Amino acid sequence: MIKPHGSDELNPLFVYDPAENEKLKREASELGNIVVSSATAANAVMMGGGYFNPLTGYMNKADALSVARDMHTTSGLFWPTPVLNLIDSAGAHHIREGDTIALRDPNMEDHPIMAVMDVEAIEEFSDAEMEEMTRHVYGTTDTEHPGVAEFNGQGKTALSGPVKVLDLSYFQHEFPDTFRTAVEIRNEITERGWKNVVAFQTRNPMHRAHEELCHMAMDRLGADGLVIHMLLGKLKPGDIPAPVRDSSIRKMVELYFPPNSVMISGYGFDMLYAGPREAVLHAVFRQNMGANHLIVGRDHAGVGDYYSDFGAQEIFDTIPDDALEIEIFKADHTAYSKKLDKVVMMREAPDHTKEDFVLLSGTRVREMLGNGEAPPPEFSRPEVAQILMDYYQGLDG
């Protein structure tokens, strides 16, 4: 199996020993504590699950700035986005360098302890430094961008240092059949006997074009397994909630993929909407979970019109050859061809005009579903469309 990023073995930061975990929770209840941001909590979940291997905790100011500027930490580790514990300066008044503190979950009732952290440094970013990081990572400083707004709304004080993760937030409870750590996915890949694995990232339901794209990638790469890996954390308003996505994807796989060819799983992270930089982050944690290939399509991890159609593919041409072992399957926009009576990548059908494809905007699809009207079967499998229609019509009820 492919090696994890940055180490020979995966080193998840979750404390798996039940007795040790319980002991640390008891001790943490007596420590100084903070309720962290949702982004900080998501970073803890990803470190706990091994997805952010080989990080051992939250980055300090120098590493965060270095990563933002050239995708390397000060020690030379390739990493595409800062992994920070940012708080408002007022929230740090009772914390001192050298303290061990408890990190409390902002997304669960009563804010249970999710990690303990050794605070090695407390550092303030200037407005100019925050703006620089934002520009490098998100490609814009526009506060209308949901990732930019979230990143800059946490505060400018960074607490850095190693963490021990004690709880994986609400993901295990709310998505017991779907949420998996990188450790668990590696183990299941081994159990299934897969040798060549493709990962597909999604924050949306999968329509016919996505389904066929996965088939294409598996066929062309000679893969024996596909991991459909859905984001389970916070999205922007209007995105379809995870349980609905999960149901629709499971129905599609049940009906349209061979047995033992697909693993449906999810991960506990908040969407950054950082386009190219987030695509590279996706590649890092897919390598950590054991995938050899990641499908990167048009406007991967994008939002609005902030990124070019294929910027998330082009960034991989700019990173060092030895930065990652995982390989990228570069996909074009896929759509159903009326001339060929099948889904194709549009670049592979040069004799087609726009009218030769079944193309529907996201707005039009949402309108149809909300009206109880199924999109054409060339666009969406009827069984999938029914689940989505039920959801949209429920919003109006």
- β-bridge mates for residue 294, sequence order: 199, 328
Strands in the chain per DSSP E = 33-35, 57-58, 86-87, 100-104, 113-118, 121-124, 157-165, 197-202, 225-231, 262-267, 293-296, 327-330, 334-337, 342-345, 357-358
* Distance, CA of 84 to CA of 87 (rounded, Å): 9
Beta-carbon contacts of residue 24 (< 8 Å; ≥ 6 apart): 15, 116, 164, 166
Please give the C-alpha separations between residue 20 and each of 162, 165, 229, in angstroms, as whole numbers: 17, 11, 30
Please give the C-alpha separations between residue 209 and each of 56, 127, 330, 363, 391, in angstroms, as whole numbers: 39, 43, 15, 17, 21
Beta-carbon contacts of residue 265 (< 8 Å; ≥ 6 apart): 178, 179, 180, 185, 227, 228, 229, 230
* Distance, CA of 225 to CA of 342 (rounded, Å): 23
Of 11, 21, 196, 204, which is the active-site residue? Answer: 204
* Distance, CA of 310 to CA of 69 (rounded, Å): 21
Of 11, 192, 203, 250, which is the active-site residue? Answer: 203
Please give the C-alpha separations between residue 231 and each of 203, 282, 311, in angstroms, as whole numbers: 5, 11, 21
- In the residue annotation, 152 being an active-site residue is answered as no
* Distance, CA of 318 to CA of 328 (rounded, Å): 13
- In the residue annotation, 204 being an active-site residue is answered as yes
Among all residues, which ones are annotated catalytic? 203-204
